[in-house]
Structure 1
Amino acid sequence: MDTNRRRFFKRASFVAAATAAAPFVARSSGSDKAEAGQKPSRIIHIVSDGMSAGTLSCADQLSLITRGRGLTWMALCRREDARMGWMETRSLNSLVTDSAAAASSWGSGVRVNNGVINQTSKGVALKTLYELFGQAGWKRGLVTTAELTHATPAGFATAVSKRGMGTAIAKQYLERRIEVLLGGGGRHFEKDYRLDKRDLLAEFGSAGYRVMRTQSELSVASTGMPWLGVFTPGHLPYALDHVADAKLRADVPTLASMTAAALRRLGGEERFILQVEGARIDHACHNNDAAAALQDQIALDEAIDVCIQYQQQYPETLVVMTTDHGNANLGLNGVGDSYSDSTKALKRVADVKSSFAALYKPLKRRPAVDAPEVEKDDEEEKKKEAAKSNEQKDREAIQRKKDEENVATPTEIIELVRAATGYRMPYRKAEVLRMHFSNAGESLHDMRKADVCALGDVMANHLGIGFVGTVHTSDHVPVLALGPGAGKFAGFLKNTDIFHAYTSLAGIDFRNPEEPLVAAGPEAHQVERISEYLLA
C-alpha cells in the first residue's frame, strides 16, 4: 500500500473529515489529472433510490438551512470536469419501472419485466455485471441502507424470478463470492428464518468471510478477507430514527460509515467496482414521509463526500451518481401570500424527530415488530389460504375489523403527531386522519385513500411538501459522472447504457440477449410490498 493510501485510511475521523471538507468539491479536483480516454481502475456507482427531481431540490435547500451549505451532489454539478446527463427508466413491460427491473437494466444491459431480477420473460438467467467483472479480476462491493437482498444491490449480482426471493439472493452472493456486502437484512442469512434452514452466516464464515453484526465490529475489521456485514434483521433505520436513538447510533453504522469502510477494504485492490445505495429515500417517498426522505438524501450526500474525498486522492476513480426511478414526486409548494411562507415551511422539516414508520406504530396501536420471523413460500401460502374454511375466514375478517378500529383517538393522534413533528393539527383533521387509519377514509384519487397519504397530506399543511401518490413514476432522472470515462454518461441515456458503459471501460466485450419492448407483458409478480417500509 503506498504512502498516500496509508495516510488516507489512517485518519480515525475519516467520515467527519470528508463531510467537513465537502465545500471544496466545487473546485476542480485531482480527477482533472485523468487524461481524455483514460479508463478507470476504480468505479463507484451511487444510487439515490426513488429520488425524484423535487427530492434532490428540496434536500439541497434543506441542507443549506441545516448544514450551512447545499448538497455536495449539486456542488459537483458546477465542476468543469463534471459530465451530466438524463436517463430514461422504463422496464421491459412498463413505462414505470420497479427497482428490480431498474437495477437489472444496469446489471445486465437489457430490460426485464417488473418484479424480476436479471431474467428474461422466459425465465432464462442473464449474465450479471458483477459476474463479468469478477471474471475479469475486479473486486466487487455492495453497500446499502436496505436489506442486502433488496432489489437494487441484488440487480448488480444475482438472477431470480421474483425480487422477493431474499434467501435465494443471499445464497447467490455466497456462490459468486461478492467481496464486500454491507447493509441490513440479516434474517435472510439466518437458519431460523430460512425455509431451507441453512445457516448462511456460518457458511459465509467458513468460506473465509469476516461476518459482522455491529458498527464496532466493522470499524476494526481486517482488510485481508471478504466482508459480510448485516447490522439489522430488516432494513437499516431511517436517518431520522437513527439520529434519535442512542442504541442505534452505537450499533448500526451510517451509510457514510459503511462507504468509508468499504473503500478501506477495497482500496488496497488493483481494481474494484462498488455500488452505494441510499435505499430508504425510496421507502420514505412510498410513505409520503417528506422529512424522512430528505434526511436520508442528506445522509446519502455524506456518503458522497466520502467518495469524492477518495477520488481526490485516487483520480483513476470514476464516480457516477444517479437514481433508478422517481417516486411520488415530492415537491415544495407555494405557501402563503406570494408564496412567502414556503421557506418557513421547509425549515420546519429540521424539527421533525421521527419517521412515519416510527409514528405509525402508536397511531395504529400496533406492537413494534421488525419483520416476519419465518420466510414465506408464496405457493404454500396460496394453498393455505385456499384450504381455509369459511368459518376461519370469517373469524379473521372480524379480527381485522377490530384491528382497524383499534387506532388512536383524535386527541391521541394530535398529541402523537405534535410530539414527533412539532405540528399541532386541528381536531377535525385528526378525526379525518383516524378514519383513514381505520380504512374508512375516502379520496377522489383511489391511491390516496392510503393512510400514509392522509398523514402526508396533514403534514403538508405544516411542511409545505406534497406528493402525487405512493408509487414510482416514469420520470427521466439525472446522471452525474466525474473521473475517467465520465463522458460516457453525458446526454440522454437509456438505463441499459450504464451496463454497457461500465463493461466498455473495463474492456469487457459481452451482451446479453435482448427482448422487444412490450406494451403489456405477462402479469408481474408482486412488484413491491410497500407496507414493509412502515416496519422501521
Structure 2
Amino acid sequence: MRRRDFFKNGSLAAIGTQLFNPFTPADTIKKKRGKVKNIIFMVSDGMSTGTLNMADLMLQRQQGRHSLWIQLMHENRIKRSFMDTASASSLVTDSAAASSSWGGGVRVKNGVLNIGPNGEKYKPILHKFKDARKAVGCVTTVPITHATPAGFCVNSDSRSMEPIAVQYLDLKFDVLMGGGTNTFSKEGRSDKRDLLQDFRTAGYQVALNRTEMAALTAEKPILGVFHDDGLPYAVDRAQSETLKATTPTLAEMTQKAIEIMQKNPNGFVLQIESGKVDWAAHANDVSALIGEQIQFDDALKVAIDFAEKDKNTLVIFTTDHGNAAPALLSGSKANANFDKIATYKQSNEWILNGITKDFTPAQIIERIEAAQGIVIKPEEALTILSNYYLLGEGGIYNARKLPFQKLAQIQTPFSSVGWAGTDHTAEFVELSMFGPGSELLNPFVKNTDLHNFMLDVTEVKA
C-alpha cells in the first residue's frame, strides 16, 4: 500500500470539502494539523479484547474507576480503529512478524525480523527516526532483545535473542530497557561473551537495578536490564519487598525514558511494551494477565500525562495480536469468583515453578491455597504432579513444559474465567491514538499501515 493510500476514505477524506472551500485555504488546514514531534508507541503484547475488558472490570470493582484506556473511550478523547494483524505466512502472526509489520512496513513470515522471502532487508523504523536526528528507544517487561522491541530495531532471519543482543551493541540507541540480563551477561550467554562489559566499553550507561536506573542521565546511550529473563509479574512483585526495591515497574521505566529522551530538541520515538501480558495469556494465568494489563495502563497514564502537557506528542496504543481469547463466563458465581481474583497473592508461574516431583498432593493443595485461596481436590493435585515426571527444556514460552493449562482448567470453576487455548489468535485488535495526528486514523487498518503513518505524521522521509 502506498503511504498516502492509508488516508483515503479516512479523516482527510472527511475534511476534503474544506480543502476546496474558498473560505478555508489549504495552508490553514495544514497549520491546524501540524507536525508531530514525538511518538510513544505502546504495545500490550498478546492483548485479546477479553484482557482489556477484564482489567477494566477489575479496576471498576476494586477501585471504583475505569482503566485509563477505557476512560479515554468514554470521554471520546481518542481515535479508535480495528487492526488486521496477519503475517506473510499466516493469518495468525507471531510477535516477530507483527513487530516487523510496524518496524519495517512489510509483512514478513513468522519467526523473522524485517527480512523478506528472498533475504530482502527492510530498514527498521527506529533507524529512520535516528537518521532524522530524533532520540529513539525501547522499553519492555520482557527481555529487551525479545521480538517486539527487536522488530523496531534490527534485521534478523531468526528471533534468537543472543545474536540480537550483539546487534544492539552498534545501534547506539538512546534507551534500551527491560529484562534479559542473561542475554548480555557472561554467565548467561552460551558463547560466554561479557556483553555487559562490551556495552560499557562502547560508551553505554548500563543499569542492572531500579536504583541504577534512577541515576541514568541523557549524556550517553542506555542499556538497562533488570532481571535474568522477563521482569517478575506485577502480582508476584507486590509480594516481595526485594523485587519492589530492585526491579522497576513499566510505568517507572516509561517515566525515566521520557525524561531522558525529551531532552533531544528534534523529538523522540519510544516503543513501550507490556510483554508479559502475552506470557500470562500463553500460560492461561488470570491473575498475572490482569495485573500485567493494569501495569500497562499505569504506563499509559505516564505517556498520556506527558502528551497532554507537551501538545506535540502522538501516543499510539495497541497490541500485536490476541492470545488465548480469555473471557469471564456466565454463571451464578461469576461476580464473586471474578472478585476473588483480586485476592490472589501469587501467579500460576510462582506456584508451578516452586513445585518439584518430590511434592505430595497435599503439599500442592497447600501451596495453591496459600497463593490464591483455592482448595483443589487430591485427584486434581495428582494431575498436576504427574507432569513433573515429564518436564522438558526448550521453546520460547514455558521451556520447562509446566502444566499451566491443567492448572487453569482446575481454576476455572473458582475464577469463572475460560480460555480458548494457549496461543495467539487472529482476531482484529484494538488500535487507539491520542494527540496530534490521531485525527488521520482510519476505522480499519492493516498492521503495516502504521509504519508509513508514523513517518507521515512526523514528516520523516522513508
Q: What TM bracket, shorter-length normalisation?
A: 0.7 to 0.9
Task: Establish whether residue 499 from structure 1 lines up as the match of residue 448 from structure 2.
Answer: no
TM-superposed CA distance for 1:188, in Å, is 1.6
- CA-to-partner distance for each residue in 1:441-492, whole Å, 9 max, x for gaps? xxxxxxxx98211100111111111111110010100001011111333311
**Corresponding residue of 1:105:** 101
TM-superposed CA distance for 1:102, in Å, is 0.3
Change (3 A) 1:362 1:218: closer
Distance in 2 separating the partners of 1:290 and 1:192: 33
Task: Establish whether residue 421 from structure 1 lines up as the match of residue 372 from structure 2.
Answer: yes
TM-superposed CA distance for 1:37, in Å, is 1.8
Distance in 2 separating the partners of 1:436 and 1:218: 40
**Corresponding residue of 1:10:** none
Report matched runs for 1:55-74 at 5 Å. Answer: 55-74=51-70
Report matched runs for 1:3-152 at 5 Å. Answer: 36-152=32-148
**Corresponding residue of 1:481:** 433
Task: Establish whether residue 469 from structure 1 lines up as the match of residue 456 from structure 2.
Answer: no
Q: Helix, strand or coil: the match of 2:342?
A: helix
TM-superposed CA distance for 1:247, in Å, is 0.7
**Corresponding residue of 2:327:** 331
Task: Single out whichever of 173-182 and 41-50 deviates more from structure 2.
Answer: 173-182
TM-superposed CA distance for 1:146, in Å, is 0.2
TM-superposed CA distance for 1:35, in Å, is 6.6
Assess if the C-alpha contact under 8 Å between 2:35 and 2:459 holds in 1.
Answer: no
**Corresponding residue of 2:398:** none
Distance in 1 separating the partners of 2:204 and 2:423: 37
Task: Establish whether residue 176 from structure 1 lines up as the match of residue 171 from structure 2.
Answer: yes
Change (3 A) 1:335 1:176: same
**Corresponding residue of 2:181:** 186
Equivalent position amino acid for 1:250 in 2: A
Distance in 2 separating the partners of 1:53 and 1:81: 20
Distance in 2 separating the partners of 1:431 and 1:203: 48
Distance in 2 separating the partners of 1:204 and 1:232: 17
TM-superposed CA distance for 1:195, in Å, is 4.4
Instruction: Choose the corresponding residue for 1:260, options 246, 251, 255.
Output: 255
**Corresponding residue of 1:351:** 343
Assess if the C-alpha contact under 8 Å between 1:73 and 1:301 holds in 2.
Answer: yes
- CA-to-partner distance for each residue in 1:184-205, whole Å, 9 max, x for gaps? 1112222343344433222222
Distance in 2 separating the partners of 1:460 and 1:100: 31
Task: Establish whether residue 456 from structure 1 lines up as the match of residue 448 from structure 2.
Answer: no
Change (3 A) 1:66 1:160: same
Task: Single out whichever of 49-58 and 118-127 deviates more from structure 2.
Answer: 118-127
Report matched runs for 1:220-231 at 5 Å. Answer: 220-231=215-226
- CA-to-partner distance for each residue in 1:16-37, whole Å, 9 max, x for gaps? xxxxxxxxxxxxxxxxxx9742
Assess if the C-alpha contact under 8 Å between 1:184 and 1:233 holds in 2.
Answer: yes
Distance in 2 separating the partners of 1:53 and 1:458: 23
Assess if the C-alpha contact under 8 Å between 2:181 and 2:227 holds in 1.
Answer: yes
Task: Establish whether residue 432 from structure 1 lines up as the match of residue 383 from structure 2.
Answer: yes
Instruction: Choose the corresponding residue for 1:342, options 334, 348, 367.
Output: 334
Distance in 2 separating the partners of 1:193 and 1:184: 13
Assess if the C-alpha contact under 8 Å between 1:40 and 1:316 holds in 2.
Answer: yes
Assess if the C-alpha contact under 8 Å between 1:77 and 1:480 holds in 2.
Answer: no
Equivalent position amino acid for 1:503 in 2: L
Assess if the C-alpha contact under 8 Å between 1:35 and 1:484 holds in 2.
Answer: no
Assess if the C-alpha contact under 8 Å between 2:352 and 2:402 holds in 1.
Answer: no
Q: Helix, strand or coil: the match of 1:244?
A: coil
Distance in 1 separating the partners of 2:194 and 2:389: 40
Report matched runs for 1:386-405 at 5 Å. Answer: none
Equivalent position amino acid for 2:292 in 1: D
**Corresponding residue of 2:7:** none
Equivalent position amino acid for 2:245 in 1: A
Distance in 1 separating the partners of 2:188 and 2:213: 24
Q: Helix, strand or coil: the match of 2:354?
A: helix
Equivalent position amino acid for 2:282 in 1: H
Assess if the C-alpha contact under 8 Å between 2:359 and 2:385 holds in 1.
Answer: yes
Equivalent position amino acid for 1:174 in 2: L
- CA-to-partner distance for each residue in 1:230-277, whole Å, 9 max, x for gaps? 111211111111111111100110101000100110121121000110
Change (3 A) 1:349 1:503: same
Equivalent position amino acid for 2:335 in 1: T
TM-superposed CA distance for 1:304, in Å, is 0.8
**Corresponding residue of 1:7:** none
Distance in 2 separating the partners of 1:105 and 1:408: 46
Assess if the C-alpha contact under 8 Å between 2:139 and 2:253 holds in 1.
Answer: yes
Task: Single out whichever of 119-128 and 280-289 deviates more from structure 2.
Answer: 119-128
Distance in 1 separating the partners of 2:42 and 2:137: 12
Consecutive unaligned residues of structure 1, counting only runs of 5 or more, are 1-33, 366-405, 441-448, 511-536
**Corresponding residue of 1:308:** 304
CA-based RMSD = 1.8
